[in-house]
Amino acid sequence: MKSKMKNTMIIAIVIILIIGFGIFLIKDSKANGNGLNSGEKVQIVKLSVENGQYVMNPSQVKRGIPVRIEADVTKMPGCSKSFVIPSFNVMKVFTSTDNTVEFTPDKAGVFNVMCSMNMYKGTLTVE
Ligand SMILES: [Cu+2]
């Protein structure tokens, strides 16, 4: 009889843990959402090309906060629309109807950005 009570208690504790973990996961998935509804901060960086180089405005962002790159494809000739940030696994071909890409920089430093053929270049600083 005693062991039955013990089992019941263990099951109760496991259920509480599962519920607690579930709430944690729900919270976490909201935190990782696109932030459009939650009012979470997103750093917007305008991207264009000038004199054959990528221009990021601003060219410096904060670590750990999502970045949304908004490309002005009217100022991006040819293959410069094929945009890569190797350090953050960003690869995106911008079009006039799909001109944004989001990522969260998880390390600080000065990072190269380039087109997929490494012709157009630029840098993004993460502080
Ligand atoms: Cu290129």
Q: What is the tally of structural domains in the chain?
A: 2
**C-alpha of residue 51 to centroid of ligand 1, in Å:** 14
Average pLDDT over residues 114-122: 97
pLDDT of residue 83: 98
**C-alpha of residue 92 to centroid of ligand 1, in Å:** 13
Please tell me whether residues 93 and 120 are part of one structural domain: yes
Q: Which domain holds residue 75?
A: 43-126
Q: Is residue 37 part of a domain?
A: no
Q: Residue 6: which pLDDT band, with cuts at 50, 70 and 90?
A: confident
Please tell me whether residues 20 and 52 are part of one structural domain: no
pTM of the model: 0.69
Please tell me whether residues 19 and 49 are part of one structural domain: no
Q: Is residue 38 part of a domain?
A: no
Q: H or E stretch including 90? A: strand 90-93
Select from 67, 65, 60 the least CA-distant residue to 122. 60
pLDDT of residue 114: 98
Please tell me whether residues 49 and 17 are part of one structural domain: no
Q: Is residue 57 part of a domain?
A: yes
pLDDT digits (tens, 9 = 90+) for 34-86: 444 445 799 999 999 999 999 999 999 999 999 999 999 999 999 999 999 99
